[in-house]
Structure 1
Amino acid sequence: MDNPLILYGCIVILTGFALLYFALVIWSPAPIITHESEKKYRSFKSTKKPLSLTPLEDSGTVDLTVVIPAYNETERLPLMLEQTIDHLSSLKKKRTYEILIVDDGSSDGTSEFSLKLAAKYPKSDIRVVTLEKNLGKGGAVRHGMLYGGGERLLMVDADGASRFNDLELLWDAMDKIAPNKGAGVVVGSRAHLVKTEAVVKRSLLRNILMYGLHTILRIVGVGHIRDTQCGFKLFSRSAAQQIFPAQHLPTWIFDVELLLLAKQLRIPVAEVPIEWHEVPGSKLNVVTASLQMLRDLLIVRANLLLGRWQVVPRKQKSE
């Protein structure tokens, strides 16, 4: 009688695993497709004729690419862009740069508005890319990184919540962990603000979800980073070339996938405190987004553990 019970138990267990694997396949995001029109950009000098972007696998063309994901950001983008250009223009040690605004399928004319803004800064290389459909913040950042020409590439939110001047803190940290164009990631962090008004004044629900997320992050393997979600991160070109082609998540939790990939690739990651403030106009529904984040965290971790999503280290070219 024992043998049939054991056999029955094995069948149940195997069926359960098969169902879980089937659910993983169904829930995993489809590959992100890049359309030909998205490989080109417009600028105030070329509003009608799109020009070719720089593929990430090519050599860098400027010192810095600033990638700004933008979904319906006509209200918040002007101040953020002004602060960005003011800082980059004020540096004593000049840096060549490009600003890549990735319009994530907006419905408010973000692309045309961005081109008008670009005309105010004729000395700055402001490039506007229009995605054919809305991918999500992670998809927009990924696209900007895959077509940025910078030796270093900065992702920054369009709301201006992070103080752009703090780029220099990230830059100095990158010099330390990734000299000579090595692979490195520097994460802007708000962890030091947890006990300050900037976070205390946030809603109780947001703070509960924040602490819950931190607990889950420790479980999935990125507990060593205190703030994974700050939208102010700097990548060396070498690191970006290895991380972003392997990124699958287009949703809000994509930051965690990037850090998991960096950990798996043994790319050094530094965390640097920055200034930050809450900006009205967030498009994030905290409850819905939190449930989606939990699902996506489990999906990315399971796919990496099972080898469905492969990560291939990039061989460094000899100088």
Structure 2
Amino acid sequence: MAHIAPALPRSPERRTPRATSVDIVVPVYNEQDALADCVLGLRNEIAELPYRVQIVVVDNASTDCTGEIGRSLADAYPDVSYRRLQKKGRGHALASVWQDSPADLCAYMDVDLSTDLAALAPALAVLATGHSDLSVGSRLSQGSRVQRGMKREMISRTYNLTLKLTLGTRYSDAQCGFKAIRRDAAQALLPHISDTGWFFDTELLTLAEWSGLRIHEIPVDWRDDPISSVDILATASADLRGIARMLGARLRGRYPLAHIAAAAAGRQPSGTARLGLAGQLVSFCMIGALSTMAFAQLGALVAANLLATVVRFVLFRHWVFRRDRSGEDLSLAQQRG
């Protein structure tokens, strides 16, 4: 298992209470049907928060009416802004806003609001008080309430188990679309994150853990979006390549973990953290075994799809049989009558 640097002590000045500003990013691509409801619902939620909050709609080159709606919302409400990018990718959208944000805290959430907004206040509070560097929603921690199909549940658990076995992660849920981060932590981490797509979340959390930053997980109420356009197999393949890339970089000492930790805490770096011999051997073995893990995960994805198909077929067949049988019984009863 990869070595994880211990958490570093806090700087006293980070505990000082002060007015807090927040940028909440909503990345969108062709979301003309969901965008307005998302922004209006989010505005109702932030009205009760003791922070100065700005909602930033980031348009990843949409081809529908998303841009028009985003600009209209920004014109109508001073706490909403709109930014259009010419490149797709959730990671690209988040990095483009977070790296230049003047806000004390940065957050993001998916436009479908699958995560209940009741989790927003505690997610921001642990950052505003200096308790943690990142706060993330978790659908797999105790106390969460999740409504989603068996296939997605199996895929999510398989992916997060793969992260634990290969990257040595301790967080429970990498891909929940509900995260917040302190500005200093974001600025320390973002220059070392390569992915611009779905793996961005995993890279962010893993690099934060390796650097000894504090991650606070919040159990969330979450409901699945039945019309999600995410290509599961393509995303899984990209995730596995991201895992291999991170392991290789860690083995070669490419991540300046001590510098990241110091920058996040507002201190001068004391040195460069590197893997010891034991850690290098473990990581080398993990890289060698990653191909096996890849086949296992892809096999699990195929199995999950197959199992879900079989279950749907059995249920449909049972429903058709009962319907036909009920029709026959009714016809027989009418003949006897």
User: Displacement of 1:192 after TM fit?
Assistant: 4.2
Residue 36 of structure 2 corresponds to 78
User: Displacement of 1:173 after TM fit?
Assistant: 2.7
Q: Distance in 1 between matches of 2:19 and 2:87?
A: 28
Q: Distance in 1 between matches of 2:173 and 2:85?
A: 29
User: Displacement of 1:208 after TM fit?
Assistant: 2.8
Q: Deviations over 1:139-190 (max 9, x none)?
A: 11111211222101111111111122311121233355x25xxx60111111
Residue 132 of structure 1 corresponds to 86
Going from structure 1 to structure 2, the CA distance change for 1:289 and 1:142 (only over 3 Å counts) comes to same
Alignment of 1:207-218 (within 5 A): 207-218=153-164
1:307 to 237, 245, 253: 253
* Structure 1 contact 61–150 (Cα < 8 Å) conserved: no
User: Displacement of 1:308 after TM fit?
Assistant: 4.2
Residue 171 of structure 1 corresponds to 124
- Going by fraction, where is helix more abundant, 1 or 2? 2
User: Displacement of 1:246 after TM fit?
Assistant: 1.6
User: Displacement of 1:106 after TM fit?
Assistant: 1.5
User: Displacement of 1:222 after TM fit?
Assistant: 4.8
Q: Identical aligned pairs, as a percentage? A: 25
Q: What is the count of residue pairs matched by the alignment?
A: 247
Residue 95 of structure 2 corresponds to 142
Residue 63 of structure 1 corresponds to 21
1:112 maps onto 2:68 in alignment: yes
| Residue type at the aligned position of 2:93 | A
Residue 239 of structure 1 corresponds to 185
1:188 maps onto 2:137 in alignment: yes
Q: Distance in 2 between matches of 1:231 and 1:137?
A: 10
Q: Provide structure 1 residue ranges, at least 5 long, that are not aligned to the other structure.
A: 1-59
Q: Distance in 2 between matches of 1:265 and 1:138?
A: 20
Name the TM-score, length of structure 2 as normaliser: 0.67
User: Displacement of 1:265 after TM fit?
Assistant: 2.0
Q: Distance in 1 between matches of 2:68 and 2:247?
A: 39
User: Displacement of 1:262 after TM fit?
Assistant: 0.5
DSSP 3-state at the match of 1:106: coil
Going from structure 1 to structure 2, the CA distance change for 1:103 and 1:195 (only over 3 Å counts) comes to closer
* Structure 2 contact 169–206 (Cα < 8 Å) conserved: no
Going from structure 1 to structure 2, the CA distance change for 1:100 and 1:131 (only over 3 Å counts) comes to same
User: Displacement of 1:68 after TM fit?
Assistant: 1.2
Residue 99 of structure 1 corresponds to 55
* Structure 1 contact 99–127 (Cα < 8 Å) conserved: yes
| Residue type at the aligned position of 1:244 | L
1:158 to 91, 111, 122: 111
* Structure 1 contact 76–160 (Cα < 8 Å) conserved: no
* Structure 2 contact 60–85 (Cα < 8 Å) conserved: yes
* Structure 1 contact 188–272 (Cα < 8 Å) conserved: yes
Q: Provide structure 2 residue ranges, at least 5 long, that are not aligned to the other structure.
A: 1-17, 268-337
Q: Which runs of 4+ in 1 moved over 6 A?
A: none
Bigger CA radius of gyration: 2
TM-align CA RMSD: 2.5
Q: Deviations over 1:218-243 (max 9, x none)?
A: 12335311111111111011111111
1:89 maps onto 2:47 in alignment: yes
Q: Distance in 2 between matches of 1:317 and 1:233?
A: 22
| Residue type at the aligned position of 2:57 | I
* Structure 1 contact 79–160 (Cα < 8 Å) conserved: no
User: Displacement of 1:64 after TM fit?
Assistant: 0.5
* Structure 1 contact 61–151 (Cα < 8 Å) conserved: no
* Structure 1 contact 206–286 (Cα < 8 Å) conserved: no
Residue 266 of structure 1 corresponds to 212
* Structure 1 contact 62–98 (Cα < 8 Å) conserved: no
User: Displacement of 1:317 after TM fit?
Assistant: 4.6
Name the TM-score, length of structure 1 as normaliser: 0.70
Q: Distance in 1 between matches of 2:120 and 2:139?
A: 14
DSSP 3-state at the match of 1:223: coil
Alignment of 1:243-258 (within 5 A): 243-258=189-204
Q: Distance in 2 between matches of 1:195 and 1:160?
A: 16
DSSP 3-state at the match of 1:160: coil
Going from structure 1 to structure 2, the CA distance change for 1:300 and 1:86 (only over 3 Å counts) comes to same
